Amino acid sequence: MSSRAIVTLNGVTKIYGHFTALHETNLEVGEGEFVTLLGPSGCGKTTTLRLIGGFEYANSGTVSIAGQDVTGAPPYRRPVNTVFQDYALFPHMTVAENIAYGLSVKGSAVAAGERKRRVEEALEMVGLETMGKRVPAALSGGQRQRVAMARAIVRRPRVLLLDEPLSALDVKLREGMQVELKRLHRELGITFLMVTHDQAEALALSDRIVVMKQGKIVQVGAPTELYDDPSTPYVADFIGASNLVSARYEGRDGAFDLLRLDDGTLLRRVGGNPSAASSLQGVVTAGIRPERIRLDVFAGANTMEARIVETLFHGDRVRLELALAGDAGRIFADIPRTAGTGRQLEPGGTIGLHVDPADVMLFAPEPRT
Ligand SMILES: Nc1ncnc2c1ncn2[C@@H]1O[C@H](COP(=O)(O)OP(=O)(O)O)[C@@H](O)[C@H]1O
Ligand SMILES: [Mg+2]
């Protein structure tokens, strides 16, 4: 994070009954950033957002927004607004009334003339200038989503909280709305903190992604950092996809770490994670992204032999389900279709695979928690 923090969580824990939904979490979101909380269902994303919005209160730790400790403050005392996953529009009110509602509630009431002007401005921001008099039932899913956005931005929050804002839309519409979200973020110049379980959406939109697992943050970084340098196998597989193979660490040879797979293959790797490779020993995990596996076979180093289990056609590429020799495990490879031209990629065949030392990821055994 390069800018000043606008949201800070300090040691925040949230417990529901006997279940700890968020464990002593620290997080800083910079002014103007687009930050995404990413993780599987139930990992604590919505809980984190609700603690920031003021819809839940922490059992311990503090929440600060724009330099103010708001840990115990009600939602209307916080300079944030939320776009809820189900939009939570009032069905009996028109679009314009839905949007204006936020301007008449406690803590942010504005005069009628100003209210009308701000509602029009918000409608224009989301491209619904002509829809103000409709009721939500007379709108498409994408239009309802836009109303929810307009209602949240009309109060001019410093931070917009978005809980899976696009999850109710079908794929094509979702992609269009991703572009819209990015534009709104840029035009409004405010901080967006979004929740999603969709890694492609997180990668496409975010300045930084916060990867969560079971109520904890596992890694925070720019999309490229998380993709190129994941800190754990979990992140390696959640951001993009990874083949994770058990290996023995056999020390270093010059710039290379040496990893021995169960089939006897010696993999050299260079650079990247983890920085403290010298402390490694014994069983580790090697990670290889399916799109980095090549079928060009160079003599010797970093070449594996595999049997093709299944061939799946994916348009521009072919996905090969592969069994490594000597029962060393299953992996899959995504091969551009041109590379397979003229080759036998039929199930049952045996092929050689090559992976560049810079494309081998290495993970220490995860500490038991
Ligand atoms: N009000 C609640 N009472 C009890 N358990 C809850 C409550 N809200 C959330 N949880 C639990 O906390 C965990 C995290 O929930 P949530 O933050 O909604 O996850 P996510 O948004 O990542 O899917 C889940 O196991 C969920 O069942
Ligand atoms: Mg959720």
Which pLDDT score, from 0 to 100, does residue 144 have?
93
In the structure, what pLDDT confidence band is assigned to residue 336 with cuts at 50, 70 and 90?
A: confident
Among the bound ligands, the one closest to the CA of 20: 1
Q: What is the CA radius of gyration of the chain?
A: 25
Which pLDDT score, from 0 to 100, does residue 340 have?
53
Q: Is the pTM of this model over 0.95?
A: no
| Percentage, residues of the chain above pLDDT 70 | 92
- pLDDT tens figures, 85-142: 888 999 999 999 999 998 877 666 788 888 999 999 999 999 999 999 999 999 999 9
* Neighbour-count burial of 153, counting CB atoms closer than 10 A to its CB (0-12 exposed, 13-18 middle, 19+ buried): buried
- pLDDT tens figures, 229-270: 999 999 999 999 999 999 999 988 888 999 999 888 899 998
Q: Determine the atom of ligand 1 nearest the C-alpha atom of 17.
A: 4
Q: How far is the CA of 280 from the centre of ligand 2 (A)?
A: 37
| Percentage, residues of the chain above pLDDT 90 | 69
According to the per-residue pLDDT averaged within each range, which of 34-43, 170-179, 291-300 is highest?
A: 34-43
Contacts of 236 by beta carbon, 8 Å cutoff, 6+ apart: 230, 242, 244, 287, 289, 361, 363
- Identify any residues that bridge with 10 across adjacent strands, giving them in sequence order: 62
Nearest CA to ligand 1 atom 11: 21
Q: How far is the CA of 24 from the centre of ligand 2 (A)?
A: 19
Tokens of 190: 């405010």
Say if CB 122 and CB 150 are below 8 A apart: yes
Question: Mean pLDDT across the stretch 36-51?
Answer: 97
What the chain holds in terms of domains, given with CATH numbers, is 5-233 (3.40.50.300), 241-363 (2.40.50.100)
Q: Find tokens 């994941």 and name the residue.
A: 230
Q: Determine the atom of ligand 1 nearest the C-alpha atom of 44.
A: 17
**For a pocket test of ligand 1, which of 14, 46, 51 has the largest count of ligand atoms closer than 8 A to its C-beta?**
46
Q: Determine the atom of ligand 1 nearest the C-alpha atom of 22.
A: 14
Contacts of 149 by beta carbon, 8 Å cutoff, 6+ apart: 83, 125, 126, 165, 184
Count CB atoms within 10 A of the CB of residue 343.
11
| Distance from C-alpha of 216 to C-alpha of 232, rounded to nearest angstrom | 14
Residue 109 DSSP code? -
